[in-house]
A and B are shown apart, each in its own frame.
Chain A
Amino acid sequence: MAEITLDDVRKLLVDNCMLRVAPEKITPDTTLFGPGSLGLDSIDALQLTVGIEKSYGIAIKDPAVAKEAFQGVETLRQWLNRQPRPSPSA
């Protein structure tokens, strides 16, 4: 299964969230919520989970899991790569 890259995560964020910074400024160290972050809000969090489910078939139901996975760009990328993904034909 192909590794999810920084560009994949950038695309996920651009497609699903109301970004207040240019996508090229998103680095692995960028955080998603709170001061000095991308400034995502609760609707962005919901849309991000929807986007992840659509793109990778990974459903996030538990807010606690989302809090852990959505700490930052690199955290999210690593978390996504750790999740079992359904095969494309499934």
Chain B
Amino acid sequence: MAEVFNSAPHSARLYRAALFDLGALLARVFPLALLRVLAAWAGGLYALTHPGRVEVVRRNLLLLDSTLGEMNARRVYAEFGKTLVDYFHIGTRSQQKAMHFIGEIDGDNHLRAAQDLGKGALIVTAHFGLFELGGLLLAWQGFDALVLTYPEPSAALTRWRADFRARWKVGTLEVGADSFAFLQIAEQLRQGKFIASLIDRPHPTDSTPVTLPHGRALFSTGILLLAEHTGAPVIPATMVRRRDGSYHAQIFAPIFVTSRGSRADTLGFYSQQIADTLAPVLCAHPEQWYQFVPVAAPEP
């Protein structure tokens, strides 16, 4: 499906509820600036000791910019460390305090326009920046928001992250286990909900290649099928960390999916539209593309 807000496939040893508990505890106790420095250092160290994983990231980055190399890929891990710190820090503060981290919002008029249509909306983004913060933004602005997620490595972690979002009044809908999850999503859209998901990771059976500036990647297509079926607009969005540590939310113009002949033609066309919308932001901040699995499409 159009990918969901699930955890990156790091070592399953790192993706445990107990470690997330520890992260949240540290975020309550220690200053943000200190934790950011330590997390960046830890991310860099992880990259140094896991060259195979760094190579995957390097190959992904090459799709954006052919001059990016191993150092850039290592930097992704350092940035990811900082992003995790922000995630824990923001998630353990009130909605109001957390919203202070969003320093700039562009395009939220598209959200209001979508709400007026009454068909819900499908917010799509990449494994980029602090994408979870988008859920907070939606809830803060009064939208009934749901995040799609695949099951985490453990049920405990899935619950942990759902509870974490619930503090922000953002719901979680787990897909993958339930064969009728997409019908549930369609029903939620009919109720006017805003559903956020990730698109830049291929689904085993439902993916389509898109062209990025320096290569082709696979995007999952389930969200577009939902959009065509329900008439809900697809709204690309990004949440980029700026130099000052605050975040810039960019919400782009909605995309309305209508049939363009065959299903493959339709999915290919609109997936490319989404890729064309997101790619400039990814290219401007490649160090925040936390894409840890290979996404390059096979050559035709």
Contact = CB atoms under 8 A, between A and B. Distances in A.
B222 A66 contact: no
Contact of B183 (A18, A33, A60): A60
Contacts of A25: none
Given A18-B205, A50-B229, A61-B190, A43 B222 contact: yes
A63 B187 contact: yes
Interface stretch (B75-83, B174-182, B276-284): B174-182
Interface in A30-88: 33-34, 40-43, 45-47, 49-50, 60-63, 66-67, 70
A52 B135 CA distance: 34
Q: Is the interface of B mostly helix, strand, loop or mixed?
A: helix
A42 B179 contact: yes
B178 A46 contact: no
Contacts of A70: 180
Contacts of B187: 61-63
A18 B225 CA distance: 14
A45 B205 contact: no
Contacts of A40: 179
Nearest to A40: B179
Given A18-B205, A46-B225, A61-B190, A41 B179 contact: yes
From B181, B182, B186, B226, name the one whose CB has the most chain A CB atoms within 10 angstroms.
Answer: B182
B182 A46 contact: yes
A89 B32 CA distance: 66
Given A47-B225, A50-B229, A42 B190 contact: no
Nearest to A64: B180
A49 B190 CA distance: 15
A34 B190 CA distance: 27
A49 B179 CA distance: 13
Contacts of B184: 63
Contacts of A33: 179
Contacts of B181: 42
B90 interface: no
From B178, B190, B226, name the one whose CB has the most chain A CB atoms within 10 angstroms.
Answer: B178
Interface string A4-41: 00000000000000100000000000000110000011
Interface of B: 1, 175-176, 178-184, 186-187, 190, 203, 205-206, 222, 225-226, 229
Interface of A: 18, 33-34, 40-43, 45-47, 49-50, 60-63, 66-67, 70
The 9 lowest CB-CB distance pairs between A and B, nearest first, are A46-B182, A63-B183, A63-B180, A42-B181, A33-B179, A42-B182, A18-B205, A63-B184, A43-B206
21 contacts: A18-B205, A18-B206, A34-B179, A42-B178, A42-B179, A42-B180, A42-B182, A42-B183, A43-B1, A45-B179, A45-B180, A46-B182, A46-B226, A46-B229, A50-B225, A61-B187, A61-B190, A62-B183, A63-B184, A63-B187, A66-B180
